[in-house]
Structure 1
Amino acid sequence: MSFDFRIRTAFVFLAFLLFPSQAFSAKRSDFNIWHGVESMRGEIVQMEVFRPESPNGSAVIICPGGSYHHLGIVNEGYTTAKWFSERGVTSFVLWYRVAKNRYHYPSQMQDVQRAIQVVRENSDSYQIRKDRIGLIGFSAGGHLVTWAGAFASRTNELEKLGIQTQTSLRPDFVIPVYPVVSMQDDIGHKWSRKSLLGKNPPQEMKDLFSLEMQIPGDMPPTYLVACRDDPVVMFENSVRLYEALKQKGIDSEFAVYEWGGHGFGMTDNKFMKAFHWNKALESWLQAHGFMD
């Protein structure tokens, strides 16, 4: 039994201690997204599924943060899955590969595109609609989900692995929360950049993964969340992303909060009690037909 497997098992056990109602309100299972893919033999990337009692036809793939180095599974993964599944949305927590385990680009991008493929190609078995599958990501996970939305029609990392995709890799909505956006020297989050691209990436790689420079005209509807006092990822990351979205005419909303910092996730903390940011998100999802 690997060390990482023991860690993941411990997190799952902790989640059920923290959220005992989750065991009754949603049916949980997990699987390796790379199972059966010859070119990825030996790779194990788990995705946990939380199936609500009354699915509404929507699904969300959750990408926790952690500077592309580790994953904030409980705070940004399980709490988010609980919130969505309680509202009828089938939720998938993606344990994408990270630098702590010596994985860098393109591993993370392969994982998120494979997750979208697997969910969409198996949508009938999950009682979800193919046109109601979105992404939410926190911090570095916010960068990952924004990348998935921005590059869906330009870059197919799965084809490079010999995988034929029979369905679209474009998410139907994207929710970046206090996201890493830029890889530029002035505002980029250095740890995330190093974890994803290495210690001294060339300028062309910085530009390619500075998502404020890469928003296409077919970017999915986007709901962006950030706090002005974020001490970890500069608020300017989100400002530049929103400006790029509006410049391209993308259906987007920017929820700006004066305080709250970084890493608040979906937990019932001081920030949540003060602003109930998830209520505003719920209204946006309802308005776009992804939540009842």
Structure 2
Amino acid sequence: MKRMFFLFFLTFAVAFALYAQDKTIYLWRNVKGMEKEYSVMFMHKALNSDARADAKVPVVIVCPGGSYHHLGLYNEGYCSSKWFSENGITAFTLKYRTNESLYNHPAQLEDVQRAIQIIRENADEFGVDKNKLGVIGYSAGGHLAAMSGAFAETHNELEKIGIKTDVSLRPDYIMAIYPVVSMQDDIAHRWSRNSLLGYGKKKQTQKRKDEFSIELNIPDNMPPSYIVVCEDDHVVIPENAKRLYAACKSKNIQNCRLAVYPWGKHGFGMLNNDFMKEFHWNDALKDWLIEINVLEK
């Protein structure tokens, strides 16, 4: 019994240390009619940044995956935020609404747009550069990240619920990791599609499938995008990532990259697993962040 208690305490202590954050922001607390919407983001301040008190660092919103049904907050959320923080970027892990709590679109897009608004409007308080704001997403979170860039001007969900802002809701850069992209029948991740759009033919008309297939809706001002996929991903068909890249290239989106790895499957996040040890995929991501002037050499 004592050993079990010790192991429980140790697990709790490790989890607490990993999950520790500098600030918790409730997205809807002061918004009339939205007060009961429980969406939060956890701030992890950048380390190793300029020592000057007025220094502004890049910032990223981290969107974990989970088929739009639940969230992989540990390996895709907190581990990612820790890595960005250690590399001089302030990170906000976004706990957005999912179908596990009976939410479909537009709740998820509302949450990420609200997060962008809050960060940009409070950039001085957070010590971040509002013009170096990115969104990274994994799996269904990759769809959300891409959607935040593609839909910023065509789907202003904040305006629809009476929230007006002078800041742009368009991220400056996007990172989509083993992303859900398409809602088309041939390659769609069905669980993500069901969770986002709702079940049934009335909610999944071809028109709606087209509307939420990111590869069919890339605007001319799509942010620079970094896309990662493994050839042996049996959860989300790799063609999703490849179609996103092809669509960006067809629109001549600058600084768009596709990193294809021979193995690694799905859900590796930023854990120190076999895939990370072999390929160090986040080192290549860092090089890209330097290339687009988010980070300095």
Task: Using structure 2 for the length normalisation, give the TM-score.
Answer: 0.90
Q: State how far apart, in whole Å, the 2-side matches of 1:14 and 1:119 are.
A: 32
2:179 is the counterpart of 1:209: no
2:241 is the counterpart of 1:244: no
2:31 is the counterpart of 1:37: yes
Quote the residue 1:266 is aligned against: 270
SS at match of 1:39: coil
2:228 is the counterpart of 1:231: no
Q: State how far apart, in whole Å, the 1-side matches of 2:13 and 2:160 are.
A: 38
Residue 223 of structure 2 is aligned with which of 220, 223, 237?
Answer: 220
Q: State how far apart, in whole Å, the 2-side matches of 1:142 and 1:155 are.
A: 17
Q: Tell me how far 1:21 sits from its aligned partner.
A: 7.5
Q: Tell me how far 1:127 sits from its aligned partner.
A: 1.1
* Amino acid across the alignment from 1:99: N
CA RMSD of aligned residues (A): 1.6
Q: In 2 relative to 1, CA 14–185 (structure 1 residues): closer, same or farther, beyond 3 Å?
A: farther
Quote the residue 2:157 is aligned against: 157
Q: In 2 relative to 1, CA 22–93 (structure 1 residues): closer, same or farther, beyond 3 Å?
A: closer
Q: State how far apart, in whole Å, the 1-side matches of 2:73 and 2:155 are.
A: 27
Q: State how far apart, in whole Å, the 2-side matches of 1:207 and 1:162 are.
A: 27
SS at match of 1:40: coil
Give matches, 1:106-121, under 5 Å: 106-121=106-121
Task: Using structure 1 for the length normalisation, give the TM-score.
Answer: 0.91
- Tell me the matched-pair count: 277
Q: State how far apart, in whole Å, the 2-side matches of 1:106 and 1:14 are.
A: 36
2:281 is the counterpart of 1:284: no
Give matches, 1:32-111, under 5 Å: 32-55=26-49, 57-111=57-111
Q: Mind listing any 5+ residue stretches in structure 1 that lack a counterpart? A: 1-12
47-56 or 153-162, which deviates more? 47-56
Q: State how far apart, in whole Å, the 2-side matches of 1:155 and 1:21 are.
A: 35
Q: In 2 relative to 1, CA 93–274 (structure 1 residues): closer, same or farther, beyond 3 Å?
A: same
Q: State how far apart, in whole Å, the 2-side matches of 1:67 and 1:15 are.
A: 27
Q: Mind listing any 5+ residue stretches in structure 2 that lack a counterpart? A: 1-9, 50-55
1:15–1:78 CA contact under 8 A, matched in 2: no
1:131–1:172 CA contact under 8 A, matched in 2: yes
User: Which digits, 9 at most, give the CA deviation of each residue in 1:180-237, with x for residues without a partner?
Assistant: 0000111000000000001131111000001110001100000000011101000111
Q: Tell me how far 1:39 sits from its aligned partner.
A: 2.4
The higher radius of gyration belongs to 2
